[in-house]
Amino acid sequence: MKQKSLRIIHCFRSPVGGVFRHIRDLAAMQNAAGHQVGVICEQCEDGELEQMQFASMLPDLALGLHRIPISRKIGLSDVSAVMAIRRLIKSLQPDIVHGHGAKGGTYARLGTLLTRKNPSLRFYSPHGGSLHFDATSLAGKIMFTAERWQERITDGLIFVSAYEENTYRRKVGNPSCAYTVIRNGIAKDEFAPVIPAPDAADFLFTGMMRDLKGPDLFIRALAQLHISQQASGLPLATGAMVGDGPQKQTYQALAEELGLGRYIRFYPAMPVREALTHGRIFVLSSRAESLPYIALEVLAAERNVIATRVGGLAEIFGENSPALCEAEATAIAAKMQEALTSPVHFQERIPALPLLRSAFSRENMASTVEHFYRNR
Residue 121 and residue 86 in contact, taking contact as beta carbons nearer than 8 Å = no
CA distance 267 to 353: 29
Three-state secondary-structure class, residue 325: strand
Q: Cα dist. 247→71, 216, 219, 244, 293 in Å? A: 18, 10, 14, 8, 22
* Residues of the chain where predicted confidence (pLDDT) is lower than 50: none
Task: Give just the sign of the alpha carbon dihedral 159, 294, 361, 54.
Answer: positive
The whole-number pLDDT of residue 174 equals: 97
Burial class of residue 70 (count of CB atoms within 10 Å of its CB; 0-12, 13-18, 19+): buried
What's the pTM?
0.93
Amino acid at 331: A
pLDDT in tens, 178-208: 999 999 999 999 999 999 999 999 999 999 9
Output the CA angle 44-50-314, nearest 5 degrees. Answer: 110
CA distance 125 to 164: 10
CA distance 53 to 107: 23
List, edge to edge, every strand of the sheet that includes 7-11: 64-68, 36-42, 7-11, 96-100, 121-125, 156-159, 179-181
CA distance 220 to 205: 13
The whole-number pLDDT of residue 351 equals: 83
Residue 94 and residue 120 in contact, taking contact as beta carbons nearer than 8 Å = yes
Strands 96-100 and 7-11, how do they pair? parallel
CA distance 94 to 174: 28
Query: For the chain, which domains are there?
Result: 7-185+361-374 (3.40.50.2000), 190-358 (3.40.50.2000)
